[in-house]
Structure 1
Amino acid sequence: MKIPKRIQPLVDDGLVDEVKSQLMSGKEASVYVVRCGDTIRCAKVYKEASQRSFKQAVAYREGRKVRNSRRARAMEKGSGFGREQQEKVWQSAEVDALYKLAAAGVRVPEPFGCFDGVLLMELVTDDEGYVAPRLNDVEIPAEQAVRDHKTMMGYVAKMLCAGIIHGDLSEFNVLVDEHGPVIIDLPQAVDASANNNAEWMLARDVDNIRQYYGQFAPELLTTEYAKEMWALYEKGELTPETELTGEFQELDSEADIDAIMKEIDDARAEERFRRERIKEAKEGVDESKFNWADNNE
């Protein structure tokens, strides 16, 4: 296929030898299947801020630090240079998170670097060479749902131990290969210790995964992993080896009407956000049925 303009510099530099096909086009980025030597990978091309319709971006940027004071001031003022630097921070956030999470034992696509807004990374496939399907596209037996849910909660806990919250985790941002779930799409990852929205973002991530697996194993719907994790995290007692139970005992206290109303408002906002993200995810073009093994014969 014709080489996209943003990928051409990577071809010129010898990082990419061939663009085979467009895998999907979403609101934040377009993903292409590319050949790098004898290896098939994917290239995620981030869209410019003016073309991107990611919701509530400010909530995700909170807490992201820039060491260079000039860049930080420009970003705060919103100047042209500042917006350019903000884009670089946004784009580098995903590759930084991928490296950190891989080191923490979380299954994510292996990154190979981000070059001028193009992230080169592993193409996750199934055992037959097909692009691995999203979690949303697979049917799961109850016993496997319980196992995979436990695996996912372990990944979320390891992410939190590494100081990262996905921020947009759902059945649309998880691939499934022969070894189980693989977490993808992390440009909006937030700093758990510096973002004031961290706790409810963690709760939303966990709830999305709980609701999905709960379709196949209803007993999962009563679990409280987010509250358990966050309580341990705040006390400094959460570790990658912590055996989570999914149980959490609320302390009895007098009703706080303001807090209750805030929770209701937050729940409504989260549901609107979830519906928007589901709609956006469904608009992407997914060519997961293409068999790259056959294509290369």
Structure 2
Amino acid sequence: MRAYMIPSDGAAPELSETDLPEPGPGELRLRIGACGLNFADLLMMKGTYQDTPRAPFTLGMEVAGVVDALGPGANGPAVGTRVAVFGGQGGLAEYGCFDAARAVPLPDAMSFEDAAAFQIAYGTSHVALDYKARLQPGETLLVLGAAGGVGLTAVEIGKLMGATVIACARGADKLEVARQAGADHLIDAKTQDILAECKALGGVDVVYDPVGGEQFKAAFRACKPEARLLPIGFASGEVPQVPANHLLVKNLSVMGLYWGGYLKFKPEVITDSLSTLLEWYEAGKLKPHISHVLPLEQAGDALELLRTRKSTGKVVVTPQPPSAGA
């Protein structure tokens, strides 16, 4: 089979021919129909992600496809079941073996592309806004990086939860994507002053930030008393430092969120959230925005779209041709 692999520590990824994997105890083998890309894949390529595997390994954190085989003692979905899996790695391949307990059966109407674009982006935003920040109807939510993979879902979910949503992104095209997702107010990070614009709107109650850097600093200053700030990631490359004395003055809370971390110590947070999100999807309340779908042989191009920020929403790679999918 083919897999887009990092062959050794520090090496560039490459499309390779490798043996079909056999599922181990508690694992299932998936015939992969689609793999969603994430900013963390870029960090893994550099070896800077907190959960970077030892090489050799295959990139691709979240996948959807058909269960092809079960390993010894696997108590997951039966062979032939359509599922999505957050595996943390192994998705940019034609087949992969994953923990069967992480497999989530898909609604009949959900395509592999939608499923592969769903878990991390929607899961991160829902756990952040609902479980962590306790976002309330009528509050004001500021979403930085609002046209990106997680940011766009935060706009969508924030609006569903009854918040007034301020979307911040770079350029009119990206802001239009955020507006279509439900944003009430738009801020162009290239040309407008984030702090001034937020203050003119009365300040913010919750900040959702996958960007970091100067944008975090501006959002921090725009917070109302008792606001909650959610650092999700640092796409700017700069990890901001929080002035603790300012936290005291305004009674602010900073809540870090690593969605995948809950799988290790509190997995029910993830499963409960995904159950709610899939119900919303089936009810037509959520629709993943996928700007690009590319075949496995163009996995490098797909990752470059993320690196250069030329995508909106999600980028998906399809290891199998459509006839082998849904």
Q: Under a length normalisation based on structure 1, what TM-score does the superposition of the two structures give? A: 0.31
Q: Under a length normalisation based on structure 2, what TM-score does the superposition of the two structures give? A: 0.29
> Which has a greater percent of helix?
1
> Which has a greater percent of strand?
2
